[in-house]
Amino acid sequence: MTITTKAAAAEITPKHFNVIIIGAGPSGLSAATHAADLGVSYLLLEAATAPASTIRNYQRGKLVMSEPRSLPIRSSLPFTASLRETVLETWEKTIADYHLNVRYEAKVVDLHRTETCLEITLTDGEKLTADHVVLAIGVQGNLRKLEIPGGDLPQVQYQLDDAQAYVDETIVVIGGGDSGVENALALTGRNQVMILNRAEDFSNCKESNLSQLTEARKGGALDWLLETNPQAIELNSKGEFPITVFANTPNGVERIPCHRVIARLGALSSRPLLESFGVGFPTADLAALPLLSTHYESNVPGLYIVGALAGYPLIKQGINQGYEVIEYILGNPVEPADAALLREKFASFCNDRGVDDVLEKIRNRVPLLAMLNSLQLRELVLESNILLPAAGEIIFKRNDYSTTFFSIVEGELDVLIDEDNVPDAVLKAGEFFGEMALVSGRRRAGTVRARTPCVLIETPRRAMQKLISSVQSMRRVLNEVAIKSVVHICIGLSLSEEDLNDLANNATLKSYAAGEELFHEGDEADGLYLIQRGSVTVSHMIGGREVVLLYVAAGHYVGEMSLISGEPRYATVRAAVATEAVLIDAGRMRDIIARNPEIRGELDARYLQHLQEQENRQQQEASLESNGALGQQSTPSNLISFLIQQGVGEATDVLLIDESICVRCNHCEQACADTHGGATRLDRDTGPIFANIRVPTSCRHCEHPHCMKDCPPDAIHRAPHGEVYIDDSCIGCGNCQQNCPYDVIQMAVVQDQPEPSLWQMLLGIQPKALPNIGGTKVAVKCDMCKDIADGPVCVRACPVGAALRVNPEELLGYAGGGTSTEANLHGLTSH
Amino acid sequence: MQRGNIFDYKNYLYFKLAVILILLGFAAYLMFEPAVGYYGGSWLGYGLGTLSAIMVFWMAWYGIRKRRYRGSGATQGWLSAHIYLGTALTVLVTLHSGFHFGFNIHTLAYGMLLIVVISGFFGNYTYMIYPRLMTENMGEDNLDGLLLRIAEADKLARQIALLMPDDINNTVARACRETSIGIGLLEQLRGFQSDCPSAMAVEQLALMGHDLAVEHRKLYRDLYSIMVRRETLVRRARQDLMYRARLGFWLYFHVPFSIALLVAMVAHVVAVFFYW
Ligand SMILES: Cc1cc2nc3c(=O)[nH]c(=O)nc-3n(C[C@H](O)[C@H](O)[C@H](O)COP(=O)(O)OP(=O)(O)OC[C@H]3O[C@@H](n4cnc5c(N)ncnc54)[C@H](O)[C@@H]3O)c2cc1C
Ligand code: HEM
Ligand code: SF4
Ligand code: SF4
pLDDT digits (tens, 9 = 90+) for A693-706: 899 999 999 888 88
Tell me which chain A residues have a C-beta less than 8 angstroms from the C-beta of B227: none
Please state, in angstroms and rounded to a whole number, the distance separating the CA atoms of residues B198 and B178: 8
Query: Nearest to residue B273, comparing CAs of B46, B58, B2, B37?
Result: B46
Most confident of A212-216, A731-735, B133-137, B272-276: B133-137
pLDDT for the residue A820: 30
**Gap from B99 CA to chain A (nearest CA, Å):** 31
CA atoms within 13 A on the CB side of B211: 1
Residue A777 is inside which H or E element, if any?
strand A777-780
- Residues forming a β-bridge with A724: A718
Neighbours of A713 (CB within 10 A): 19
pLDDT for the residue A828: 24
pLDDT for the residue A816: 45
Non-local CB neighbours of B158 within 8 Å, separated by 6+ positions = B172, B173, B176
pLDDT digits (tens, 9 = 90+) for A252-307: 788 899 999 999 887 777 888 899 999 988 777 777 788 888 889 999 999 999 99
Residue A123: pLDDT over 70: yes
Q: Any CB–CB contact under 8 A between B158 and chain A? A: no
pLDDT for the residue A620: 66
Residue A178, Cα to own-chain centre: how many angstroms?
16
Mean pLDDT, rounded, for A523-533: 87
* Residue of higher predicted confidence among B59 and A826: B59
pLDDT-derived band at A494, boundaries 50, 70, 90: low
Contact between A341 and A379 under an 8 Å Cβ cutoff? The reply is: no
- Cis check: omega of the bond before A301, within 30 degrees of 0: no
- Name which of B7, B10, B56, B69 to mutate to probe chain A: the one with the most chain A Cβ atoms within 10 A of its Cβ: B69
pLDDT-derived band at A10, boundaries 50, 70, 90: very low
Tell me which chain B residues have a C-beta less than 8 angstroms from the C-beta of A758: 64
Ligand 1, atom nearest to A315 Cα: 11
Pocket test for ligand 1, best of A45, A137, A737 (most atoms within 8 A of CB): A137
* Residue of higher predicted confidence among A352 and A657: A657
Neighbours of A301 (CB within 10 A): 9
Which residue has the least CA distance to atom 7 on ligand 2? B60
Most confident of A493-502, A617-626, A813-822, B33-42: A493-502
- Residues forming a β-bridge with A83: A63
pLDDT for the residue A4: 43
* Residue list, ligand 4 pocket, CB within 6 Å: A 657, 662-668, 684, 797-798, 800, 802-803
Mean pLDDT, rounded, for B203-225: 84
- Closest residue in A to B244 (Cα) is A664
pLDDT for the residue A6: 42
Coil, helix or strand at residue A167: coil
Q: Output phi, psi for A170, to 5 deg.
A: -100, 120
Most confident of A19-33, A244-258, B66-80: A19-33
pLDDT for the residue B186: 85
Tell me which chain A residues have a C-beta less than 8 angstroms from the C-beta of B74: 790, 795-796, 801
Please state, in angstroms and rounded to a whole number, the distance separating the CA atoms of residues B274 and B276: 6
pLDDT for the residue B236: 93
pLDDT for the residue A511: 87
Residue B17: pLDDT over 90: yes
Q: Say yes or no: CB of residue A322 within 6 Å of ligand 1.
A: no
Residue B48: pLDDT over 60: yes
Please state, in angstroms and rounded to a whole number, the distance separating the CA atoms of residues A82 and B124: 54
Please state, in angstroms and rounded to a whole number, the distance separating the CA atoms of residues A679 and A794: 13
Residue A611: pLDDT over 50: yes
pLDDT-derived band at A44, boundaries 50, 70, 90: very high
- Closest residue in A to B247 (Cα) is A663
Q: Any CB–CB contact under 8 A between B4 and chain A? A: yes
What is the distance in A from the centroid of ligand 2 to the CA of B86?
Answer: 8
pLDDT-derived band at B38, boundaries 50, 70, 90: low
- Closest residue in B to A671 (Cα) is B69
pLDDT digits (tens, 9 = 90+) for A146-171: 888 888 888 898 887 777 788 888 99
Query: How big is chain B, counted in residues?
Result: 276
Give the percent of chain A with pLDDT over 70. 91
- What angle do the packed helices B105-138 and B75-97 form, to 10 degrees? 150
Which residue has the least CA distance to atom 50 on ligand 1? A733
Burial class for A373, CB neighbours closer than 10 Å (0-12, 13-18, 19+): middle
* Residue of higher predicted confidence among A45 and A533: A45
Residue A821: pLDDT over 70: no
pLDDT for the residue A130: 94
Q: Any CB–CB contact under 8 A between B78 and chain A? A: yes
Largest CA distance in chain B: 95
Inter-chain contact A801–B9, Cβ cutoff 8 Å? Answer: yes
A404-439 burial, b if ≥16 CB within 10 A, otherwise e?
bbbbbbbbbbbbbbeeeeebbbebebbbbbbbbbbb
pLDDT digits (tens, 9 = 90+) for B69-105: 988 888 999 999 999 999 999 999 998 888 888 888 8
Please state, in angstroms and rounded to a whole number, the distance separating the CA atoms of residues B67 and A762: 8
Coil, helix or strand at residue A692: coil
Contact between A648 and A640 under an 8 Å Cβ cutoff? The reply is: no
pLDDT for the residue A768: 76
Q: Any CB–CB contact under 8 A between B147 and chain A? A: no
**Gap from B89 CA to chain A (nearest CA, Å):** 20
- Residues forming a β-bridge with A407: A432, A457
Inter-chain contact B156–A761, Cβ cutoff 8 Å? Answer: no
Residue A570: pLDDT over 50: yes
Contact between A281 and A275 under an 8 Å Cβ cutoff? The reply is: yes
Mean pLDDT, rounded, for A101-118: 91
Mean pLDDT of all residues belonging to chain A: 83
Ligand of minimum distance to the alpha carbon of A656: 4
* Residue list, ligand 2 pocket, CB within 6 Å: A 665, 764, 799; B 56, 59-60, 62-63, 66, 79, 82-83, 86-87, 89, 113, 116-117, 120-121, 123-124, 127, 251, 254-255, 258, 261
Contact between A531 and A553 under an 8 Å Cβ cutoff? The reply is: yes
Tell me which chain B residues have a C-beta less than 8 angstroms from the C-beta of A658: 1-3
Pocket test for ligand 3, best of A742, A743, A747 (most atoms within 8 A of CB): A742
- Closest residue in B to A760 (Cα) is B64
CA dihedral A143, A144, A149, A150 (to 10 degrees): -30
Residue A456: pLDDT over 90: yes
DSSP string for residues in chain B? -----SSSTTTTHHHHHHHHHHHHHHHHHHH---TT-S-TTSHHHHHHHHHHHHHHHHHHHHHHHTT-TTSSS-HHHHHHHHHHHHHHHHHHHHHHHTT---SSHHHHHHHHHHHHHHHHHHHHHHHHHHHHHHHHHHTT--HHHHHHHHHHHHHHHHHHHHTS-HHHHHHHHHHHHH--SS-SHHHHHH-S-TT-HHHHHHHHHHHHTTT--HHHHHHHHHHHHHHHHHHHHHHHHHHHHHHHHHHHHTHHHHHHHHHHHHHHHHHHHHHHHHH-
- Under 8 Å CB pairs connecting chains A and B tally to 116
Residue A383 is which amino acid?
E
Q: Residue A579 carries which DSSP code?
A: E
Non-local CB neighbours of A471 within 8 Å, separated by 6+ positions = A282, A283, A371, A372, A376
pLDDT for the residue A261: 93
Whether ipTM > 0.85 holds is: yes
Give the percent of chain B with pLDDT over 70. 95
pLDDT digits (tens, 9 = 90+) for B131-176: 999 988 988 888 888 998 898 889 889 988 988 888 899 999 999 8
Tell me which chain A residues have a C-beta less than 8 angstroms from the C-beta of B246: none
Give the percent of chain B with pLDDT over 90. 46
What is the distance in A from the centroid of ligand 1 to the CA of A308?
Answer: 7
Pocket test for ligand 2, best of B6, B21, B59, B64 (most atoms within 8 A of CB): B59
Residue B233: pLDDT over 50: yes
Mean pLDDT, rounded, for A728-757: 87
- Closest residue in B to A668 (Cα) is B69
Contact between A54 and A141 under an 8 Å Cβ cutoff? The reply is: yes
Tell me which chain A residues have a C-beta less than 8 angstroms from the C-beta of B149: 215, 218-219
Ligand of minimum distance to the alpha carbon of B118: 2
pLDDT digits (tens, 9 = 90+) for A780-806: 999 999 989 888 999 999 999 999 888
Residue B181: pLDDT over 50: yes
